[in-house]
Amino acid sequence: MSELAGPERSSRTGAADGRGSGNILELEDVRASYGRAEVLHGVSLQVSNGGVTAVLGANGAGKTTTLRAISGMVTAKGRIDLDGQDVLGSRPDQVARMGVAHVPQGRGTLDQLSVRENLLVGAYQRRDRKAVEAQIAECFELFPALARRQTSTAGNLSGGEQQMLAVCRALMSRPRLLLLDEPSLGLAPRTAEEVFEAIGRLQKETGLSMLVVEQTAALALALADTAVVLEIGRTVLTGPAEEMAGRDEVRRAYLGD
């Protein structure tokens, strides 16, 4: 399991401590637009080193766009710092090479490639073939369903299996930060719980920092230490995850009052 997060983590955590912020990711007053339409009007949030931040909000609040802004998939203004490094204006592949793994909504499965090839694409930047093979083996150990179907086309996997594959693929790059966009989308409630259990286990064992966008607040809040609520493209509330469940803003976000 330790292999999944990679050996570089500890040194990086140490470096970040030196800067004193303790945050792997900081967004400050981020604005983003599709064409001329601005959809984020000021999003601020932090992910602490080794921590999990959940982004909550109603449909259209700008959760997905926030992740896309971090990955350079939409033009954004403001400040986006990854471990003290400015990522604003970088292309998606550059942000990925800086250590951000982004599992997009709908999982981004390479559906015409085999399960194994999906994982190899995730490891594309790596040169340590033996460690890559070891990590693939570990992923198959963690998710036996993927092991059984490693040579079959990823498009044939079930939704839950595809989500597992997407997480494994993201981890293959040995990221410093994992962005998860609606991991439970389109999954049966039981499967969604299993996916979150697996992500939670992974987080505990590796201490990988995560930013999770999720519609099902209960699942996200159980995983996160910090929660951020977005309303119409703005951060309206930030606080410890355990205090969030009862808050009006959270209920509004999900019940649409």
Partner 1 sequence: MQHAIQQIVDGLAAGSIYGALALALVLVYRATGMINFAQGLMAVASTYIALTLWQAGSPIGAAVAVAIAVSLVLGAVTERLVIRRFEGASPHTAVVVTVALLILINGIVGAIWGYNSQPFPSLFPTGTVTVGGVVLAIPSLATIGVLIAVVVLLQLLFLKTKLGLALRAVANNPESSALSGLNVGRLLMVGWALAAGLGALAGALIAPKVYLDPGMMDTILIYALAAAVLGGLDSPMGAVVAAWIIGVSENLAGTYIGFIGNDLKIGVPLVAMFVILLTRPQGLFGRKEAVRV
Instruction: Kindly tell me which of 178 and 229 has the beta carbon lying closer to partner 1.
Output: 178
Question: Sign of torsion, CA 27 32 38 40?
Answer: negative
Write out the two tokens for 3.
Answer: 């292999």
Instruction: Kindly tell me which of 174 and 229 has the beta carbon lying closer to partner 1.
Output: 174
Instruction: Kindly tell me which of 173 and 215 has the beta carbon lying closer to partner 1.
Output: 173
What minimum distance in Å lies between the beta carbon of 96 and partner 1? Answer: 4
Instruction: Kindly tell me which of 70 and 253 has the beta carbon lying closer to partner 1.
Output: 70
User: Would you call 81 helix, strand, or coil by DSSP?
Assistant: strand
Contact 101, 177 (CB under 8 A): yes
Residues that bind partner 1 (CB under 8 A): 71, 73, 91-93, 96-97, 101-102, 104, 108-113, 117, 120-122, 124-125, 169, 173
Percent composition of the chain: helix, strand, coil (DSSP 3-state, to 5): 40, 25, 30
b/e burial code for range 217-250 (CB count within 10 A of at least 16 → b): bebbbbbbbbbbbbbebbbebeeebeebeeeebb
Q: What is residue 41's DSSP assignment?
A: E
Instruction: Kindly tell me which of 132 and 217 has the beta carbon lying closer to partner 1.
Output: 132
What minimum distance in Å lies between the beta carbon of 255 and partner 1? Answer: 32
What minimum distance in Å lies between the beta carbon of 174 and partner 1? Answer: 11
What minimum distance in Å lies between the beta carbon of 5 and partner 1? Answer: 17
How, if at all, do strands 209-213 and 52-57 pair?
parallel
What minimum distance in Å lies between the beta carbon of 109 and partner 1? Answer: 7
Contact 199, 184 (CB under 8 A): no
